A and B are shown apart, each in its own frame.
Chain A
Amino acid sequence: MANIISDETIEYVGILAKLELSGEEKEAAKKSMGEMLDYIDKLNELDTSGVEPMSHVFPVQNVFREDEVTNGDESGRTLQNAPSEKDNMFVVPKTFD
């Protein structure tokens, strides 16, 4: 395997991805990410100099509209899906001391 994923890298990726991995999961993730990157490295066989990155197949532009409410007040129904709510607001765990 050409790509060796270090403990630090997998730790960092866990922070970016907001995932908490067990020791076993970390080892599996290191291995599978290394394999995937080895495979993705195949793209380096191609000379892409001068090729513009294509994010969308068709030209896309911002679609603007007036800032008007068209779907009514759905806060009550929306909050029904919330794991925790109070006084028409989402309840979250303590964010700072």
Chain B
Amino acid sequence: MDKKQLLSLSATALGAAIKAGETTAVEAMEAVLEQIEARESTYHCYVTIERESALAKAAAVQGKIEAGELTGPLAGVPVAIKDNLCTEGVLTTCSSKILENFIPTFSSQAFLNLEKAGAVLVGKTNMDEFAMGSTTETSYYGVTRNPRNPEHVPGGSSGGSAAAVAAGECFFALGSDTGGSIRQPASYCGVVGMKPTYGTVSRYGLIAYGSSLDQIGPLTRTVEDCAAVLEVIASHDPKDSTSIKREDTDFTAALVKDVTGMRIGIPRDYFGEGLDPEVKEAVLRAAELLKENGAILEEFDLSLVEYAIPAYYTIAAAEASSNLERFDGIKYGYRAEHAEGLHQMYKKTRSQGFGPEVKRRIMLGSFVLSSGYYDAYYLKALRVKAMIKKAFDQAFERYDCILGPVAPTTAPKLGESLVDPMKMYLGDIDTISVNLAGLPGISVPCGTDSRGLPIGLQLIGDCFQEKKLIRAAYTYEQVSQDA
């Protein structure tokens, strides 16, 4: 198989080709590394590339495949991992200066599950610093460019992962989603991205941002890949106390091209002011296609959508301010020089080690948790969160899933978003409630705008209903290719 043909395969197709002896894990890794050589200087998807060890590991995996020890669908497939997931012996920076030299002594459980299935690490992908941002522009290590148009951002915070999948610099990737950080970059780069139900994938070894909202998930080329990856990474883990024991993680069983009788709710709130007309048209066209194939569509009012962003930024900032206290220059990472005494060392280290967006959120979080403001801001946000969850509960009494856009616009140009953070936060409007309510959500490409920039269709399910999402997303993907 030639390199070009190889690189056009989905992750599961590559896995099948390796199993059938049509290619090898080493050839696949060589193809990816060549692609990186050719494209990385333009796109900058990675913070760290495992050039040396990747080929050696691919060879070892190939041996196990030939010996019949590795038989899964991802055996021998090159994977990129977001740089906030710990990988033993491999630099893990969170795209921050404060972790510029941090080499974990353990791996995140999600990555361990992939390694056990025979996937081979290509490298660690660029992201917004500590996953705080929507464009991958807050990275200390420079911006990532959108492979569909390098003048535009790839989205964020898992922008490097989405771009690496889109650019053929890996066959699939892992990201993390706290307020849309998998789904939105997937949408901007024209790939599939899924945030599973909270607790489905262990957060052990994920460097925490907003612990009650963070969830790891796949970024892939196809819905089939997405289901296959999720099936591997979902596991109950005693090391994550919020991990849930699920029996229904055979997600590939839901790859069925049939939505007959599926009830899909379309929230009017997601189609109001601020939505780009081209995005609206593409998403509604996708909905029509599902209807033509047997789904039952109904418009409804979800309510409370405008309160999700202020509730989210209060809760996420509060949790971040607590989670990021551990970066103090003592046990790992950057330490400021010339500090007088311990306390000054903490302050200097953190002030020099964190970027502006991270500092902004730590300060806001410290404030809303401080004595005298805790009830008015933090508890208020948690009460609103409960109301938002209830609104979704009511919607899912009537619908199998909810359909809408992933983001109000396609990818903005580089350099446009950080000037006005408030405006950037507002771009999270369609993804953020899903995290507050712990729900699963998937982003599937549904066309491009007149400039050729990808548009994403979002499907949201009730807790533990990933299979409904996969079924609807798979059906849409298949019928839109037929059309």
Which residue of chain B is the closest to A29 with respect to CB atoms? B363
A94 to chain B: which residues have CB within 8 Å?
Answer: 341-342
A20-52 at interface with B (beta carbon < 8 Å): 20-21, 25, 29, 32-33, 35-37, 39-46, 48, 51-52
A43 to chain B: which residues have CB within 8 Å?
Answer: 307, 310-311, 314, 380-381, 384
Extra pairs beyond A21-B359, A42-B306, A81-B103 (18, CB < 8 Å): A17-B363, A21-B351, A25-B359, A35-B422, A37-B367, A39-B309, A39-B422, A43-B380, A53-B383, A54-B382, A57-B198, A57-B438, A58-B438, A65-B238, A81-B332, A81-B333, A83-B333, A94-B341
Which of B105, B368, B383, B437 interacts with A74 by CB under 8 Å? B105
Q: Mark B371-388, 1 if CB is under 8 A from A, else 0.
A: 000000101111111110
B342 to chain A: which residues have CB within 8 Å?
Answer: 92-95
A18 to chain B: which residues have CB within 8 Å?
Answer: 325, 328, 346-347, 350
Which of A45, A74, A77, A84 interacts with B335 by CB under 8 Å? A84
Q: Looking at chain A's contact residues, is the secondary structure mostly helix, strand, loop, or mixed?
A: loop
* B306 engages A13 (CB within 8 Å): no
How many whole Å from A79's CB to the nearest CB in chain B? 9
* A39 engages B244 (CB within 8 Å): no
Which of A52, A55, A60, A95 is the most central at the interface, judged by chain B CB atoms within 10 Å of its CB? A55
Q: State the A residues within 8 Å of B (CB).
A: 9-10, 12-14, 16-21, 25, 29, 32-33, 35-37, 39-46, 48, 51-58, 60, 62-63, 65, 71, 74, 77-78, 80-84, 90, 92-95
The complex places the Cα of A41 from the Cα of B307 at a distance, in Å, of 10
B381 to chain A: which residues have CB within 8 Å?
Answer: 40, 43
Which of B212, B359, B380 interacts with A19 by CB under 8 Å? B359
The complex places the Cα of A51 from the Cα of B241 at a distance, in Å, of 26
The complex places the Cα of A51 from the Cα of B304 at a distance, in Å, of 15
B382 to chain A: which residues have CB within 8 Å?
Answer: 53-55
Which of A46, A83, A84 interacts with B387 by CB under 8 Å? A46
The complex places the Cα of A29 from the Cα of B330 at a distance, in Å, of 26
The complex places the Cα of A40 from the Cα of B449 at a distance, in Å, of 33
* B241 engages A63 (CB within 8 Å): yes
How many whole Å from B330's CB to the nearest CB in chain A? 6
The complex places the Cα of A28 from the Cα of B66 at a distance, in Å, of 60
The complex places the Cα of A79 from the Cα of B367 at a distance, in Å, of 33
Q: Looking at chain B's contact residues, is the secondary structure mostly helix, strand, loop, or mixed?
A: helix
A-B contact pairs, 10 of them (CB 8 A): A17-B359, A17-B363, A20-B344, A29-B359, A40-B310, A43-B311, A53-B383, A53-B386, A77-B105, A82-B332
* B363 engages A40 (CB within 8 Å): no
A55 to chain B: which residues have CB within 8 Å?
Answer: 212, 382
B450-465 at interface with A (beta carbon < 8 Å): 463
Query: Is B448 part of the binding interface, using a Cβ–Cβ cutoff of 8 Å?
Result: no
B244 to chain A: which residues have CB within 8 Å?
Answer: 58
The complex places the Cα of A94 from the Cα of B344 at a distance, in Å, of 10
The complex places the Cα of A54 from the Cα of B436 at a distance, in Å, of 10
The complex places the Cα of A77 from the Cα of B325 at a distance, in Å, of 22
The complex places the Cα of A16 from the Cα of B363 at a distance, in Å, of 8
* A40 engages B314 (CB within 8 Å): yes
B333-381 at interface with A (beta carbon < 8 Å): 333-335, 339-342, 344-348, 350-351, 354, 359-360, 362-368, 370, 377, 379-381
Which of B330, B365, B367, B421 is the most central at the interface, judged by chain A CB atoms within 10 Å of its CB? B367
The complex places the Cα of A62 from the Cα of B238 at a distance, in Å, of 11
Q: Mark B185-222, 1 if CB is under 8 A from A, else 0.
A: 00000000000001100000000000010000000000
The complex places the Cα of A54 from the Cα of B377 at a distance, in Å, of 14
Given A54-B385, A90-B330, A92-B330: A16 touches B370 (CB 8 Å cut-off): yes
The complex places the Cα of A52 from the Cα of B382 at a distance, in Å, of 8
How many whole Å from A83's CB to the nearest CB in chain B? 4
* B321 engages A17 (CB within 8 Å): yes
* B334 engages A83 (CB within 8 Å): yes
How many whole Å from A46's CB to the nearest CB in chain B? 6
How many whole Å from A22's CB to the nearest CB in chain B? 9
* A63 engages B313 (CB within 8 Å): no
* A17 engages B366 (CB within 8 Å): yes
B366 to chain A: which residues have CB within 8 Å?
Answer: 13, 16-17
* A20 engages B105 (CB within 8 Å): no
A54 to chain B: which residues have CB within 8 Å?
Answer: 382-383, 385-386, 389
Which of B363, B367, B379 is the most central at the interface, judged by chain A CB atoms within 10 Å of its CB? B363
B422 to chain A: which residues have CB within 8 Å?
Answer: 35-36, 39
Given A17-B362, A40-B313: A58 touches B238 (CB 8 Å cut-off): no
B300 to chain A: which residues have CB within 8 Å?
Answer: none
The complex places the Cα of A56 from the Cα of B304 at a distance, in Å, of 19
The complex places the Cα of A9 from the Cα of B368 at a distance, in Å, of 12
A52 to chain B: which residues have CB within 8 Å?
Answer: 383, 386
A39 to chain B: which residues have CB within 8 Å?
Answer: 309-310, 313, 422
**Across the A-B interface, the 4 shortest Cβ-Cβ residue pairs:** A57-B438, A53-B382, A83-B335, A54-B386
Query: Is B242 part of the binding interface, using a Cβ–Cβ cutoff of 8 Å?
Result: yes
* B360 engages A29 (CB within 8 Å): yes
